[in-house]
Amino acid sequence: MGKQKHKTGTFVRLALADGSFGYGRLLEPPHVAFYDHRTTAPDSDLDGIASKPVLFKIAVNLLALNAWERIGWKALEEHLIQPLVQFRQDVGDFRRCTIFDTAGNKRSAEPQECVGLERAAVWEQDSVEERLLDAFLGRPNEAVEHLKVRLR
């Protein structure tokens, strides 16, 4: 099979619609952490990128990873190894929520407990790039708004 294509800890650079660049880091597939780091010229300073706060961690379609430029690798820091906590919400009955993590824990939850968590979803390349740019520009992101927990 050869070398693992999507190696945990790999940094990726995303070209955004306005000509700027965003940066992500591969976690356990299919999850990627995206940094609060935007540049007008390509940046390859892995330590500098890794020192920035993480904006969000989401599951990404692995095809999207092929579209982004790999710029290097470093072992993941402790805060990026922690289990990712997400939620699911019943489409028919919004009061039925489940909070779960990538370590295999799960429990029933009230919708209010899901506020601030990511809804379980697999993001496509263009949606990730749009979400990142919206975050940098301080704009609400349509997909994020759509995926927020329903409280009523």
d(CA 147, CA 21): 25
Strand order through the sheet with 97-101 = 106-109, 97-101, 85-89, 118-119
In SS3 terms, 48-97 reads as HHHCCCEEEEEEECHHHHHHCEEEEECCCCHHHHCCCEEEEECCCCCCCE
For 31-67, the pLDDT digits (tens) are: 999 999 999 999 999 999 999 999 999 999 988 999 9
Tokens of 78: 């402790």
Residue 1 above 90 pLDDT? no
pTM (two decimals) = 0.94
Better-scored residue on pLDDT, 1 or 119: 119
Q: Domain coordinates of the chain in residue numbers?
A: 10-147
For 81-118, the pLDDT digits (tens) are: 999 999 999 999 999 999 999 999 999 999 999 999 99
Kindly give the pairing relationship between strand 85-89 and strand 31-39: unpaired
pLDDT value at position 143? 97
pLDDT value at position 62? 87
∠ Cα 132 20 122 (to 5°): 25
Query: How high is the mean pLDDT of the chain?
Result: 95
